[in-house]
């Protein structure tokens, strides 16, 4: 009797058992799709670039003159020449492999997601920071809620560091001054 009275006092509404957006389907993957959702970015960027140039020039000027005046015969010849040969080559190879989490910062009208994430690390006195920002299609997100950096449209991937290794890879003050003056 008491149970029946309590049951009659509890209000019941048709949406108590089912609320839209409150429950996910039982057979789908948990992929980022809404504002604030987290997503894992697998960064694998590899670049190799080289550029070389070779130039050479050669120029010669020959001037001759003679004077013949009443038994006086004098002549002269001057040759002026110069040349230049130059060669330059630049090679650069970079590779960045890491994983980091990002957050959906905007959902575009077509369903694409704008994501942004940063990761900061300090290892043996060297501080590094990786940042990724870009646009992602929901269809490109894997079943484990991750996406390759190569699948991010308008990707902005920043990588930088500070510390002993970074400082050691830059030329010193004297070398920079000589280079600025064209002496080094």
Asked, for residue 176, whether it belongs to a domain, the answer is: yes
Answer for the pair 161, 129: CB distance below 8 angstroms, yes or no. Answer: yes
pTM of the complete model: 0.55
Distance CA 128, CA 62 (A): 62
Asked, for residue 103, whether it belongs to a domain, the answer is: yes
Specify the number of domains making up the chain.
1
Q: Nearest Cα to 115, choosing from 126, 102, 125, 127?
A: 102
Asked, for residue 16, whether it belongs to a domain, the answer is: no
Answer for the pair 112, 136: CB distance below 8 angstroms, yes or no. Answer: yes
Mean pLDDT of the region 90-113? 88
Distance between terminal CA atoms of the chain?
A: 99
Q: Nearest Cα to 39, choosing from 100, 96, 112?
A: 100
Answer for the pair 108, 35: CB distance below 8 angstroms, yes or no. Answer: no
Asked, for residue 50, whether it belongs to a domain, the answer is: yes
Reply yes or no on whether the pLDDT at 153 is more than 60. Answer: yes
Domain enclosing residue 99, as ranges: 37-181
Q: For residue 18, what pLDDT band results from cuts at 50, 70 and 90?
A: low
């Amino acid at each position: 009797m008491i149970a029946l009275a309590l049951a009659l006092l509890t209000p019941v509404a048709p949406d108590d058992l089912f609320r839209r957006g409150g429950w996910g389907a039982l057979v789908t993957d948990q992929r980022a799709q809404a504002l604030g959702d987290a997503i894992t970015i697998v960064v694998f960027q590899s670049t190799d670039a080289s550029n070389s140039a070779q130039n050479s020039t050669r120029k010669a000027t020959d001037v001759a003159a003679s004077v013949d005046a009443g038994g006086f015969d004098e002549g002269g010849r001057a040759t002026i020449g110069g040349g230049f040969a130059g060669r330059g080559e630049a090679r650069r190879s970079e590779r960045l492999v890491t994983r980091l989490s990002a957050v959906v910062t905007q959902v575009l009208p077509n369903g694409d997601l704008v994501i942004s994430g940063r990761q900061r690390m300090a290892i043996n006195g060297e501080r590094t920071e990786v940042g990724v920002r870009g646009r992602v299609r929901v269809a490109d997100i894997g079943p484990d809620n991750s996406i390759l950096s190569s699948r991010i449209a308008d990707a902005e991937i920043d990588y930088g560091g500070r510390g002993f290794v970074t400082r050691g890879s830059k030329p010193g003050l004297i070398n920079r001054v000589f280079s600025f003056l064209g002496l080094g």
